[in-house]
Structure formats: C-alpha cells, structure tokens
Amino acid sequence: MESCPYNFPSLRIISTLKNPLLQRRNKITSNFSTLTRSARCCSITSTAAELSTAEETTAFSYNKFVRFALEETRKHTQLIPSPLQDKYSCLAAMDGKTELQMHSFETPKIRLLRSLSVEGSDGMQVLDFAIFPRAEFDLPIFCANFFTTAVMNIIVLDLNPLHDVMIQQDYKEKYYKQLIRLGIKYAELLPWGGKLTSESIKFFSPIVIWTKFPSSEQKHEILYSAFMDYLKSWLKLMDEASAETDVSRITLNLESQHKYLTWRAEKDPGHQVLRRLVGETRAKEIIKSFLFNGVDELGTKTFTDYFQEYKCDDGTVNQKRSMIGKSFESRPWNTRGEFIGNNLR
C-alpha cells in the first residue's frame, strides 16, 4: 500500500479476559466461531461502500475474507490459537465507529497465521492478513494488504518469496512456475497500481497484485475471488511441502524470514494508518509484537545490518522510502514471469 493520509480518533482497549481464544488449546469449534465470539467485545457492523458509478451502497466487509481464510485453512490443517491471541484480540475507537480485530493461529507448518482488520466510519476498512511458515519450510509468505474507503481501494496481494526470485531461479521455478497463469488472470482484472520502489519490488513475486481502483461491488467481488484463489494456491503448496532437515538450509530460511520481517516492520507504508488509529507507542508494539512477530525473536540483525544503504552517519535509519530512487510505473514481469525491469538500480 502507498501512504494513506487519513486521521482517526484515539482508541481505547476493550478487555478480552473472557475471550474463549485465551484458552489456547481448547476445542476448536467446527464453524470457527472465534469470529463471532470476538464480536462480544467489538460489535461488527457492515459498512456501506459507495459505488463510484451510481449513487447506491452495498454492504462490504473484510470480515468475510477472514472467515473464508480460517475455514479454508482448517480444511487442510488444524489451527491452534497462538499465544498472541491472549494479548491481541480487539480494539475499539472512542467514537464507537472504528474497530480493530486481531486473530492469530499456528499449525505444524505455519509459525504464525494472523489477521488485523479495521472497520471505520465513512466506509474506511483495512485488512492485513499474512501467513508465515515455520523455518523448516521455504514456503512463500502469504500477504494480503488491503485499504478501502468509500471511493478508493489500495491493494497488495501476493505470495511473497522467502528467497530472492531475481537470483534463485530454482526457487522461482519451484513455487511460481505453476502459478503464472493465475497471476496473469488477475493482473488483467486488477491492473498495476503505479510506482513501486526498487527496494520494495525485491520482496514481491511475479504473480503480485498491486493495484488501485474506485470502490465498486464488481471490483470487490474480483478482489474476493483473487484472495480465495491465492490462498487456495498457497495452501496447496503447504500441503505438498516437506520439512527441511539440513540445518544450514533451515538457518537460511530463518534469516530470510527475519530479513523480510525487519523490512516490513520498518518500511511498510501501511503503518501510517495504524499510528493514526492507536498512537505511536501502541502502534510500534502491534507492529513488532503482532503484525511482524519474530522480528525480535528470529534473529539479532538490525535493519541497517540488512539494508546498509539506509544507515545515516549517526547510525539511525534514513526515513526515505527509497534510497535508489528508482520505481516501476508498470508491471516489471512479462507473461512468462520473467523480470523485464532491466535492473533494480
């Protein structure tokens, strides 16, 4: 997502002491009632999204994306509530109109499946959904970052590569060759959204959907279809994945995921919205401990250890979005999934 210049009211935390998810390994009900249970502390209301082509409204909510994701994942593996659920479950705005809901789970192959969804006034909605594999698996990272207002949507949907697909052709062939057609299908329906920096592009795959579009029921249905298809594709890859036993390769997987988390925790532009929602201090906590959990646990390298070009003379991190100064205004992969952006510099 690009930066989103919206102001939001201050928030208060709603107690979740009686949330059933605090009992981490209790029985997981067949209909994934965790979504409805969390509604006891946060009232989920459908927000009317204004259609740009007509003066009418339609109920639209990212909650159905989350429900689908949990139900579909459960068909493939048992979801166990993460210890993070004890602390991160539900936040509500002081005006009673803006809500944040958080869910987190783990499985034998998934280190963390987590979602943060926001429903605000005037049609503002956010979904930040990700699945991080355990270090024994070199699976891509499922990534869905959606920002919606009554008039505009800013969307990133991808299976973020754990390893560099620009360099490691074997990794690209392993996970993306069979998905190129899927990427082409949705790239046509959801066209490229404009400038994307060289630094950011390294964390995306040839099937990334990066797009902007006016709010409409048709486009929202296409987005939902893309979300379902991409998640199903990721789950199929998960089913086929075998655990790595080579310690050196497990270590590489761990460091690659830590590098990814370090970048996202520092430079993801969507954090602006969260900071305006909950304030600087609480936003930092949610970013590091929930959204990108593992940035403090999976490795010891700092942001400037990984990305030295951002290091200022005083040792602090340069706040620029791009140090290279190059961006891609059109899709830099062709229909065969080959990178055609010349180079990243």
The H or E element that residue 259 is part of is helix 247-267
DSSP state of 15: P
Q: What is the mean pLDDT of the chain?
A: 84
pTM: 0.83
Rounded mean pLDDT of 201-207?
96
pLDDT band at 30 (very low <50, low <70, confident <90, very high): very low
pLDDT on residue 93: 62
Largest interatomic CA distance in the chain: 59
Q: 11 vs 8, 94, 176, 280, 282, CA distance in Å?
A: 9, 5, 41, 12, 10
Q: Counting every residue, how long is the chain?
A: 345
pLDDT on residue 277: 85
Q: What confidence tens digit (pLDDT) does each residue in 143-195 have? A: 999 999 989 999 999 999 999 999 999 999 999 999 999 999 999 999 999 99
Quick one: tokens of 52? 């740009």
CA dihedral 147, 62, 268, 131 (to 10 degrees): -160
Q: Where are the beta strands (DSSP E) in the chain?
A: 11-13, 47-50, 57-60, 80-81, 90-93, 99-106, 110-119, 125-133, 141-148, 152-160, 196-197, 209-214, 327-328
What residue ranges define each of the domains in the chain, with the CATH number in brackets?
11-257 (3.40.1500.20)
How far does Cα 338 stand from its chain's mean position? Answer: 24
pLDDT on residue 344: 59
pLDDT on residue 321: 79
Closest CA to 197 of 3, 318, 5, 344: 344
Q: What confidence tens digit (pLDDT) does each residue in 264-285 have? A: 999 988 788 888 888 888 889 9
**164 vs 18 pLDDT, higher one:** 164
Q: What confidence tens digit (pLDDT) does each residue in 297-333 have? A: 999 999 999 999 999 999 999 988 788 767 899 999 9
CA dihedral 79, 158, 249, 265 (to 10 degrees): -80
Residue given tokens 């949330």 in the structure block:
19
pLDDT band at 287 (very low <50, low <70, confident <90, very high): very high
- Measured between alpha carbons, how far is 12 from 37 in angstroms, rounded to an integer? 19
pLDDT on residue 95: 62
pLDDT on residue 324: 77
